[in-house]
Structure 1
Amino acid sequence: MKKQINVYETYTLTELINDQDFLIWVLYPDEQSNFHWQSIEDTYPHLSGPIRQGKTIVQSMRFEREDLSLKDQNEIWNTIQLETISRKTPVRKLWYRYAAAAVLAGVLLGIGILYQVNQPIAINTPYGKLKTITLPDGSLVTLNANSTIKYDRNWDKNEIREVWIDGEAFLKVKHLNTSGKVLDRERFVVHTGDVNVEVLGTSFNVNDRRGRTEVALLEGKISLGLNGAAGKPLVLAPGDIAAFEHGKLLVKPINVAQYASWKDGKLNFNNVQAAKIFDYFEDVYGYKVIVNDPEILKKRVSGSMSTQNEEVLFKTLGMALNLNINLNKNTNELMITSK
């Protein structure tokens, strides 16, 4: 007996593909079941997406089976006919045999679907490339080069939204809470290094490289906590940057718009030491930086430079610092010398 339509009002994709009626309809549709599921979709338009996605997942699964001989097909068909005419007629052993096989196939199908649906998503960016990602709740992430983001494929409506970031990313989080107590589903947590960043709705930059984690807040409000550490979380205001290094979490003001300018194809420097810039080249472009004089690392630079073309970027920086910056493509090394 099919469930009442109102049962499906809050169904998620995972619940749909574990629903017996849904599986039967997708695999063996008929006029009655088509009408039933069309009624569900008409009544709850928000289920249109999960229903289409669920059908695609179920239909994409394939299982090998033995081809039945004509004799076996006839015997099963006769059994079905007898069962239809009289519920009291005993079902033959052959029917049980193939019914059991069908159940097993259904179990395998369910396992395969669950495995596919519940696998977390991991996205990596290569050196020198950015990528913009839309999360399941509509939040946007710009992932810097040589970085990784991981998150669950499907976000449960009653659970905390969580992502894991290794490298650097700029996040614009969708604000769900409007008033009153903050529910779990309205919380958004970024795990990066030893720092957990909790957000309500905001724009911020996360950088986790070389044993140092930095979180810069552009707008909104975030709180920072450390893995396994008790105590009150640290709350950032717009224009703050928090850095965690060597077991300490420090906060200072910064021009965060310049700090996150990489996502717009620019690098903005304000009296920045050359050593930090060269670390950036290694992290983002994958080059090994070699200097012929340690004093070069102490030079400082201010200004804005485009990252759209590496060659132009290196020439511009070389002019600003009075250096020669040459790329050895055979060894993937940036050779830096004084003029």
Structure 2
Amino acid sequence: MKKQLSDYNAYTLADLINDEAFILWVLQPDETTNTYWQNIQKAYPTLNPSIVSAREIVLSMRFETDSLSAPEQQQLWQNIAAKTVLVKKTGKIIPMWYRYAAAAVVVGILCCIGILYSVNQKVNIETPYGELKNITLPDGSIVTLNANSNIKYDKNWDKDEIREVWISGEAFLKVNHLHKTGKIQKHERFIVHTGAVNVEVLGTSFNVNDRRGRTEVALLDGKISLGLNADAAKQLILAPGDIAEYANGKLIKKPINVVEYASWKDGKLYFRNVPMAKIFDYFEDIYGYKVVVDDPKILEKRLSGALSAKNRDVLFKAIGLTLNISITPKEDSRELVVTSK
């Protein structure tokens, strides 16, 4: 709730810096707050020099808004307001130098907090249904994030620490190879955390898929080792052409055509005698539709071939023509209606 105009009669620079309404006006002005503070300046012209100085102090810390989201900014101000009391309303007159010193302390606290947020902040990237995104990590590694997927990593990577990312959904990674010779250093290690599996690499290209309680890791080139969160001692080594699958508490390895497996990043889908039930699961994960079939036998049909996935409607039509079925997306109900022709 905003204060009455009379509350600002004895306001000082320190009071303004500690006033949440003033800070929000400076950082996020709108028509209402502009009118409110214009009235204050008209009512108390002697307060104008302090308002100008306080604005400069708050705006000098504007760099924080580039790295903090709106909820984070609000929480930050709330924390500061809860822990910082500059002036207590008593009958004593507090020397002006003390008030300015207190204001300087607050500015220092804000700067330190802003720096800590900037250094320790995590990057969190999500892709919507039907969209891919290419991401360059701090070390130059490239990640292609599939639709309906998420990646998290530290904004700043310490040169003396392990490179780590957290992935849910599906992603293709091409890791920057840092190790050259000798013993592997800590910063040369690269670990992907996905589901219950940890994937460690030095420099390689591989695909991770973590959906529906099943985690798959397919290796194109290089070498990776897989371990479980629950049993880090057990390691599974993959060679190019291997895929590791974790489901129901078991981690197994088998050969696969990984080029076709990871072709989604290039806008292509390869199917080799794949049941439509599994393909429809993929469509639900990628496009966000609930599949509804008029005949359960459609789920038993199998599909083989290479199809372009760059256009969703063209993809649905191609599959429909191949299997003599109709695939119709219903936007209002977010259903994919599949019927026999």
TM-score band by shorter chain is 0.7 to 0.9
Encode CA deviations 1:172-219: one digit per residue, 9 max, x unaligned. Answer: 000000011111100000000000000100000000000000000000
1:101: how far off?
2.7
1:113: how far off?
2.4
> Residue 243 of structure 1 aligns to a residue in which SS?
strand
State TM-score, norm by structure 1. 0.72
Pairing 1:134–2:165 present: no
Change (3 A) 1:230 1:121: closer
Pairing 1:208–2:213 present: no
Alignment of 1:1-339 (within 5 A): 60-61=63-64, 94-95=96-97, 97-339=99-341
1:61: how far off?
4.7
> Residue 244 of structure 2 aligns to a residue in which SS?
strand
Change (3 A) 1:330 1:99: closer
The answer (yes or no) to whether the contact 2:190–2:200 under 8 Å persists in 1 is yes
Amino acid corresponding to residue 63 of structure 2 in structure 1: S
The answer (yes or no) to whether the contact 2:159–2:187 under 8 Å persists in 1 is yes
Change (3 A) 1:171 1:230: closer
Could you say which residue in structure 1 is the equivalent of 2:85? Answer: none
> Residue 157 of structure 2 aligns to a residue in which SS?
coil
Alpha-carbon distance in 2 for matches of 1:289, 1:188? 38
1:295: how far off?
1.6
Alpha-carbon distance in 2 for matches of 1:338, 1:61? 57
Encode CA deviations 1:215-270: one digit per residue, 9 max, x unaligned. Answer: 00000000000002143310000000000000011111000000000000111111
> Residue 182 of structure 1 aligns to a residue in which SS?
coil
Alpha-carbon distance in 2 for matches of 1:61, 1:232? 44
Alpha-carbon distance in 1 for matches of 2:195, 2:182? 31
Alpha-carbon distance in 2 for matches of 1:268, 1:216? 15
Alpha-carbon distance in 1 for matches of 2:224, 2:244? 11
Alpha-carbon distance in 2 for matches of 1:236, 1:322? 40
Alpha-carbon distance in 2 for matches of 1:333, 1:99? 63
After the TM superposition, which of the residue ranges 259-268 and 224-233 deviates more from structure 2? 224-233
**Structure 1 runs not aligned, ≥5 long:** 1-56, 65-92
Amino acid corresponding to residue 177 of structure 2 in structure 1: H
> Residue 184 of structure 2 aligns to a residue in which SS?
coil
> Residue 210 of structure 2 aligns to a residue in which SS?
strand
Amino acid corresponding to residue 328 of structure 2 in structure 1: N
1:103: how far off?
2.8
Encode CA deviations 1:34-66: one digit per residue, 9 max, x unaligned. Answer: xxxxxxxxxxxxxxxxxxxxxxx966259x9xx
Q: Kindly tell me the number of residue pairs found equivalent between the two proteins.
A: 257
Amino acid corresponding to residue 226 of structure 1 in structure 2: L
The answer (yes or no) to whether the contact 1:123–1:148 under 8 Å persists in 2 is yes
Amino acid corresponding to residue 214 of structure 2 in structure 1: R
| Structure 1 ranges of 4+ moved more than 2 A | 57-62, 93-101
Alpha-carbon distance in 1 for matches of 2:222, 2:153? 22
> Residue 179 of structure 1 aligns to a residue in which SS?
coil
Change (3 A) 1:96 1:165: same
Alpha-carbon distance in 2 for matches of 1:126, 1:230? 33
The answer (yes or no) to whether the contact 1:282–1:289 under 8 Å persists in 2 is yes
Alpha-carbon distance in 2 for matches of 1:99, 1:240? 65
Alpha-carbon distance in 2 for matches of 1:184, 1:322? 55
RMSD between aligned residues: 2.1
> Residue 228 of structure 1 aligns to a residue in which SS?
coil
Change (3 A) 1:126 1:142: same
Alpha-carbon distance in 2 for matches of 1:144, 1:242? 19
Alpha-carbon distance in 2 for matches of 1:289, 1:59? 48
The answer (yes or no) to whether the contact 1:58–1:113 under 8 Å persists in 2 is no
Alpha-carbon distance in 2 for matches of 1:329, 1:99? 60
Encode CA deviations 1:127-161: one digit per residue, 9 max, x unaligned. Answer: 00000000000000000000000001101111000
Change (3 A) 1:314 1:61: closer
The answer (yes or no) to whether the contact 2:228–2:234 under 8 Å persists in 1 is no
